[in-house]
Structure 1
Amino acid sequence: MTTGPGAVSEFDRDIAVSREGDHFSGELKDGWRVGGGVNGGFQLSLLGNAIRAALPDHPDPVAVSAYYISPAVAGPARVDVRPLRTGGRTATVAADLRQGDDVRLSVLATYGDLAAFPSDDVRTTAEPVVLPPRDECVANTLAPEEIKEMAPFTQRFEMLFHPDEVGWAVGKPSGRGQISAWFRLADDREPDPLALLMAVDALPPVTFDLGLPGWAPTVELSAHVRAKPAPGWLRLRHRTRNVAGGFFEEDCEVWDSADRLVAQSRQLALLPR
């Protein structure tokens, strides 16, 4: 589905917030649900949009550390934003996403204007995500109807999985702990820094590839947004290297159509039960 000129994309409509006195109000839509809770990346994007509204001179997330306090559900939400320091190049803020008396998500973040940051000095030893052509990958639209109903979040975007990394979907996980895919939002909505906050939590838990299916609640997620992404498809890769004490770490890289590493994240999550 493609939006027409002047139309608002589903993602922008759903992360919209309004200022009400000393806080911002929004709504966590059921369409971003996974099982019984709302996806953590979507929560982070909605909260991030409230921070953007509170800091018009520093519109972009640069570094975000998010703690997931309790499962969020579809319904109204409130975001409290507390600026801690505002400088010329960056601002540091604390923010909480609440539903009723419950804190769902608590964040400490640095924001800035990525368009004003130097863009000609990019050096990395990271290896770009290499994926087959999109017509050779496995589309998320092929998921069984019961999965789509249980996790409507997966229908908010197009995701095309590397064909060598979807064995977990048919009961044959590789055991390597890696999942990668092409990614773009519905409506052909182009990526931006707020969308990257959702993208780093969009793939299925990497534990699926270890033969451990099921819900893997995030405890903490740290994301670094390195640049404004170029228009076009993103490439995502999740990896894990360590499972211990009932937890696992999940590292994500997001590469844009200009072959730049535009976002990275690491989250600590609970192993599926």
Structure 2
Amino acid sequence: MSGTISEATLSEFDRDTAVRLREPGVHDTHLSPGWAIGHALNGGYLLATVGRALGETLPHSDPFTITAHYLSATVPGPAVIRSETVRTGRTLSTGSASLLQAGADGREIERIRVLASYGDLDTVDGDIRTSAEPPAMPPREQCFSAKDNPAGPDAGPEMGKRLDLRLDPATCGWAVGAPSGRGEMRAWFGLADGRDADPLSLLMAVDALPPTAFELGLTGWVPTVELTVHVRARPAPGPLRVSVTTANLAGGFLEEDVEIWDSAGRLVTQSRQLARAKLGEPSGQGFGAGD
């Protein structure tokens, strides 16, 4: 990772998304098993890692819009991110990137391909005209956390230990065998070590809640096919409110639309992903729409 900050002072998220410049357009990284959902790494965590490399490649540092296509499941261990600048403008710069890992035969396998436009969120005009409203949710202390899991706080996926998730009870019927049938999931979101959100961690947060498929009565793995994230503002410190909805599950695929609201009541992120609903397969220890 660039800069002179000691690794010991970094949050777990920053350490685990760190990239090291090998040569122009090529970054090395070591993907942590701490962000796994079952056998594969979470798609939002991977997007944040690629997003960090793009931010070091492009002349602008903040993701405004970023789209990832997930080509194959990514596993913990060494990886290479190859990126290039497509266009540079005064307000936005656009780049592309691929995350690759060595296969069993030593040849590189492309896991993710990304196209993104970056800018400077500090220059965004403060004029807001919106009909969007924050989701109605109970206070954090009235929502469910990992310690409320009947199987114990360590029964969830490895990634859950890195998060401070407080799930809205109205979207937790799946956890007690009584899914609502509505494609909704809501939670208060933070990182377990207290690190405040920034544009990079928002790329992970959009994919951090249990999949809406659980509330639709499905229990299989829900791997991401494509994920697009729009970062609309730099988030204020404090917990985030995350709302996920699905309107259409058909042909074995579903969409998830995400809104993230910061502690100041601003809509700071929107995303949509297309995911597969793989019926009858293991659910990856409980949640995570990721890759």
For Structure 1 versus Structure 2, the TM-score category normalised by the shorter chain is: over 0.9
Residue 3 (structure 1) aligns with: none
Q: CA deviation at 1:122?
A: 1.2
Contact preservation (8 Å) 2:229, 2:271? yes
Contact 2:171 2:186 in 1 (8 A): yes
Matched to 1:251, the amino acid is: D
Distance in 2 between residues matched to 1:28 and 1:143, nearest whole Å? 28
The answer to whether the 8 Å contact 1:10/1:186 transfers is: no
Aligned pairs for 1:189-268 (under 5 A) are: 189-268=195-274
Report how far residue 7 of structure 1 moved: 2.2
* Mapped partners of 1:104, 1:142: distance in 2: 35
Q: Secondary structure at the match of 2:208?
A: coil
Q: 2:42 aligns with which of 39, 42, 46?
A: 39
Task: Using the TM superposition, give the Cα deviation of residue 254 of structure 1 relative to its aligned residue in structure 2, in angstroms.
Answer: 0.3
Query: Aligned runs of 1:124-139 on 2, under 5 Å?
Result: 124-139=130-145
For the 8 Å contact 1:35–1:150, the answer to whether it is kept is no
Offset, 1:25 = 0.6
SS of 1:48's equivalent in the other structure is: helix
Contact map agreement 1:141 1:155 (CA 8 A) in 2: no
**Range with bigger deviation, 30-39 or 213-222:** 213-222
> Shift in Å at residue 147 of structure 1?
8.4
SS of the aligned residue for 2:170 comes to helix
Q: What are the within-5 Å matches in structure 2 for residues 75-114 of structure 1?
A: 75-100=77-102, 101-114=108-121
Which letter maps to 2:165?
A: M
Q: Which residue of 2 aligns with 1:269?
A: 275
Q: In the alignment, is the contact (CA less than 8 A) between 2:85 and 2:96 conserved in 1?
A: yes
Shift of 1:143: 3.1
User: Using the alignment, how far apart are the partners of 1:150 and 1:184 within structure 2?
Assistant: 17
Cα distance in 1, alignment partners of residues 260 and 22 from structure 2: 34
Q: In the superposition, relative to structure 1, how do residues 163 and 221 fare at CA in structure 2: closer, same or farther (>3 Å)?
A: same
Q: TM (normalized to structure 2)?
A: 0.88
Match of residue 165 from structure 1: 171
CA distance in 2, matches of 1:172, 1:183: 24
The alpha-carbon deviation at position 142 of structure 1 amounts to 2.9
The Cα shift of 1:123 comes to 1.6
Spell out, residue by residue over 1:90-143, the C-alpha distance to the aligned partner (whole angstroms, 9 max, x if none). 00001001111111110000001111121x211211121121111111113333
Per-residue deviation at 1:166?
A: 0.5
Tell me how large the CA RMSD over aligned residues is: 1.4
Q: CA deviation at 1:49?
A: 0.5
Displacement after TM superposition at 1:186 (Å): 2.0
Q: Indicate which of 101, 126, 146 corresponds to 1:140.
A: 146
C-alpha deviations, 1:41-67, integer Å up to 9, x for none? Answer: 000000000011112x31100001110
Which runs of 5 or more structure 1 residues have no equivalent in the other structure? 1-5
CA distance in 2, matches of 1:131, 1:141: 19
For this pair of structures, how many residues does the alignment match?
Answer: 266
Counterpart for residue 14 of structure 2: 12
**1:146 deviation in Å?**
8.0
Extract structure 1 runs of 4+ deviating beyond 6 A: none
Q: Counterparts of 2:183 and 2:237 in 1: how far apart (Å)?
A: 29
Aligned residue number for residue 121 of structure 1:
127
Counterpart residue type for residue 211 of structure 1: G
What is the deviation of 1:214? Answer: 2.2
5+ residue gaps, structure 2? 1-7, 103-107, 280-291
Q: For residues 196-245 of structure 1, what are the alpha-carbon distances to aligned partners after superposition, in whole Å with 9 as ceiling and x for unaligned?
A: 00000000111000000121011001110000000000000110000111
Within 1, Cα distance between the matches of 2:166 and 2:273? 22
3-state SS of paired residue (1:213): coil
Task: Please report the TM-score for the alignment, with normalisation by the length of structure 1.
Answer: 0.94
Seen in structure 2, the aligned counterparts of structure 1 residues 65 and 158 have a Cα distance that, compared at 3 Å, is: same
Counterpart-to-counterpart distance in 2, 1:48 and 1:165: 30
- Give the share of equivalent positions with the same residue, in percent: 49
Is the Cα contact below 8 Å between 1:140 and 1:161 reproduced in 2? Answer: no
